[in-house]
Structure 1
Amino acid sequence: MNKIAVVILNWNGVKLLEQFLPSVVQFSQGAQIYVADNASSDDSIHFVKENFPTIKIVQNSGNHGFAKGYNDALQHIDAEIYALVNSDIEVTENWLNPIIESFDQEKQTAIIQPKILDYKNKGYFEYAGAAGGFIDKYGFPFCRGRVFDTIEKDNGQYNDNCEIFWASGACFFIRSEVYHELGGFDETFFAHQEEIDLCWRASNEGHIIKYNSGSVVYHVGGATLQQGNPKKTYLNFRNSLLMLVKNLPKKGLFFVIFFRMVLDGIAGIRFLTQGKLQHTFAILKAHFSFYCISLAYLRKRKDFQIQQYYTVKSIVYLYYIKKLLVFKEIFNSNQNIKN
């Protein structure tokens, strides 16, 4: 069994592979690298075979998205640790060693995220993950280094190793036994927020999720779906509701979901006033889809859910009403910290 397998999910991404595979190959000594291909119709497979013969290829039967794409591929990969890496990630020298050391020394740690910076603006954190993620009571995600659209410059303020609630799927390290024990990603999600759901389920089982600043990668972000894409809006809003149904503590379950849906409605109206009709319709579509499968998701609930899953009550209120725009502003104000 390999110690660590670096697994890059690909779908028609030959241009990204050309640009970013060289850094992965150069700086991943000791790891076996895989490209998990979601039935690409471009020259991805030919390019990898021709230029990187040491990379192993796992060919999936179709384009099943991020969640099922990884679930299918990882059935064929034998390693102690999976490093799930987006195809638009540039890694840096020594990016694997701090992660491996943490796993070796901390047996309860099941999932780790590195520091994720913006490939296009390398002095700043990247939207998808930054320095580790959290959620509020109503399931809205935010990060150290990124709260909604406010992205911080990296001034070393998060040069630490600490527990977080969720790790970004852009560069996601997990013990293979934990991944399979949890059943992998929820395939209904297709893409977006499946990593938060998996981390929440891991926490419910007593596992620890960590951020390790000793490992640094650069992420392009939005290479598959741009931030303003209505499909991304649909998936984020639908999947967030599904995640809440599965993982919220029983007490207050229906109130939290109802209030979250009210907040979604406000978001829909905000999109409408901005002339973004497609995003308003995407939220409506997300809610109708949620109604159709919510009962099935109630049956997915486990017997135990952690009670203190959130760190602040409402990040929407703190950001938009109180105008606390960055992570440290929020946590320097004692009244905002959940005890």
Structure 2
Amino acid sequence: MVQTQVDLVLVTYESRPVLPAFFHSLRQFTKPPFRLLVIDNNSKDQTKAYLQAMRKDPFFGPQMRLVFNRTNLGVAKAWNQAVKITSGRYLVFLNPDLVFTKDWLQKLVQSAARHKKAMVVGVKILNPDGTIYHAGANGKIRGKGQMDRPGLFDQEKKVRWVQGSCFLVKREIFGKIGGFDERFFMYGEEVDFCWRVRKAGYEVLYTPVSIYHYRKGSQISRAARLQLRRHSAQLLRAKWRKK
């Protein structure tokens, strides 16, 4: 089974409130074998203690590794850190505020394996109320705000970029285009990465695997989030308007 080649990568920061739902659904809907790397960006709440407890769990413990950073490195740096200390053919980058659905990982990996030129594979991100948050983007985000239903965005499709709360990357692409741009502290790093993948002649693929995203992964103020989003948007414009 190709899943033996999968490293799941979870980056946490002040994420304690959402972790029980994440781990419960991961246990319920994810078939081993897989490896789970959790990188904590110096949380000050009870995140570290919770992760250490999960490390002792019989289901997660044998395949789970914890890394505790001394400072908050941001998302892109933590993802690059994960690339260096994992070895699987596929890396699946995850937010802590996710709830999974049945056989999500098996379906995601099968889709990646079918499409040889696709170096990034994203999923159907749903809001808690069942509306679509993101189904890939071609100019604009597909499906945003629509109530999900059978037949809606249920086909694999090449897209320009996918949303970064849950997406697969084939390890081989890092040797061709490098890692994530560490100037993006949070937000925008997956967009930049997808654009670099496509510029290098490879594909970004959307696959209709449903994942619920609660968008409360870190206890960061609304003002701080807005500032981070604006900064990332400025970086993207400055970097890609010259291309």
* TM-score normalised to structure 2 length: 0.87
> Given the alignment of the two structures, is residue 42 of structure 1 paired with residue 45 of structure 2, yes or no?
yes
In the alignment, the residues of structure 2 paired with residue 244 and residue 100 of structure 1 have an alpha-carbon distance, to the nearest angstrom, of 32
Structure ID, larger Rg: 1
> Pairwise mapping of residues 118-197 of structure 1 onto structure 2 (< 5 A)?
118-119=127-128, 121-122=129-130, 124-126=131-133, 130-135=134-139, 142-146=140-144, 151-155=145-149, 156-197=151-192
Note closer, same or farther for the CA distance 1:87–1:180 as it changes in structure 2 (3 Å cut).
farther
How big is the shift at 1:8?
1.0
In the alignment, the residues of structure 2 paired with residue 2 and residue 163 of structure 1 have an alpha-carbon distance, to the nearest angstrom, of 26
Give CA deviations for 1:199-240 in whole Å, capped at 9, x if unaligned: 001111011001111x211000144377x9333333333322
Whether the 8 Å contact between 1:112 and 1:210 is mirrored in structure 2 is: yes
- Percent of aligned pairs sharing the same letter: 26
> Given the alignment of the two structures, is residue 95 of structure 1 paired with residue 104 of structure 2, yes or no?
yes
CA RMSD of aligned residues (A): 2.1
1:21 aligned residue: 23
Whether the 8 Å contact between 2:161 and 2:191 is mirrored in structure 1 is: yes
Whether the 8 Å contact between 2:37 and 2:82 is mirrored in structure 1 is: no
How big is the shift at 1:58?
2.2
> Given the alignment of the two structures, is residue 247 of structure 1 paired with residue 240 of structure 2, yes or no?
yes
Q: Letter of the aligned partner of 1:189 in structure 2?
A: F
1:337 aligned residue: none
Q: Secondary structure at the match of 1:56?
A: strand
Q: Gapped runs of 5+ residues in structure 1?
A: 136-141, 254-304, 306-339
In the alignment, the residues of structure 1 paired with residue 219 and residue 233 of structure 2 have an alpha-carbon distance, to the nearest angstrom, of 17
Number of equivalenced pairs: 233
In the alignment, the residues of structure 2 paired with residue 238 and residue 46 of structure 1 have an alpha-carbon distance, to the nearest angstrom, of 32
Give CA deviations for 1:255-277 in whole Å, capped at 9, x if unaligned: xxxxxxxxxxxxxxxxxxxxxxx
Whether the 8 Å contact between 2:15 and 2:219 is mirrored in structure 1 is: no
Q: Secondary structure at the match of 1:217?
A: strand
> Pairwise mapping of residues 300-339 of structure 1 onto structure 2 (< 5 A)?
none
Whether the 8 Å contact between 1:58 and 1:73 is mirrored in structure 2 is: no
Note closer, same or farther for the CA distance 1:47–1:131 as it changes in structure 2 (3 Å cut).
same
In the alignment, the residues of structure 2 paired with residue 172 and residue 225 of structure 1 have an alpha-carbon distance, to the nearest angstrom, of 22
1:109 aligned residue: 118
Note closer, same or farther for the CA distance 1:231–1:181 as it changes in structure 2 (3 Å cut).
farther
**2:80 aligned residue (71, 84, 93):** 71
Give CA deviations for 1:46-96 in whole Å, capped at 9, x if unaligned: 323323323221223321111112212331111111110100001111101
Q: Letter of the aligned partner of 1:216 in structure 2?
A: S
Structure 1 runs of 4+ with >6 Å offset? none
In the alignment, the residues of structure 1 paired with residue 91 and residue 199 of structure 2 have an alpha-carbon distance, to the nearest angstrom, of 21
In the alignment, the residues of structure 1 paired with residue 219 and residue 43 of structure 2 have an alpha-carbon distance, to the nearest angstrom, of 17
Relative contact order higher in (CA < 8 Å, ≥ 6 apart): 2
Q: Secondary structure at the match of 1:240?
A: helix
1:198 aligned residue: 193
Note closer, same or farther for the CA distance 1:22–1:180 as it changes in structure 2 (3 Å cut).
farther
Q: Letter of the aligned partner of 1:85 in structure 2?
A: L
> Pairwise mapping of residues 195-234 of structure 1 onto structure 2 (< 5 A)?
195-213=190-208, 215-224=209-218, 229-234=222-227
Give CA deviations for 1:277-318 in whole Å, capped at 9, x if unaligned: xxxxxxxxxxxxxxxxxxxxxxxxxxxx5xxxxxxxxxxxxx
Q: Secondary structure at the match of 1:75?
A: helix
Q: Secondary structure at the match of 1:158?
A: coil
Whether the 8 Å contact between 1:60 and 1:72 is mirrored in structure 2 is: no
How big is the shift at 1:168?
0.7
> Given the alignment of the two structures, is residue 32 of structure 1 paired with residue 30 of structure 2, yes or no?
no
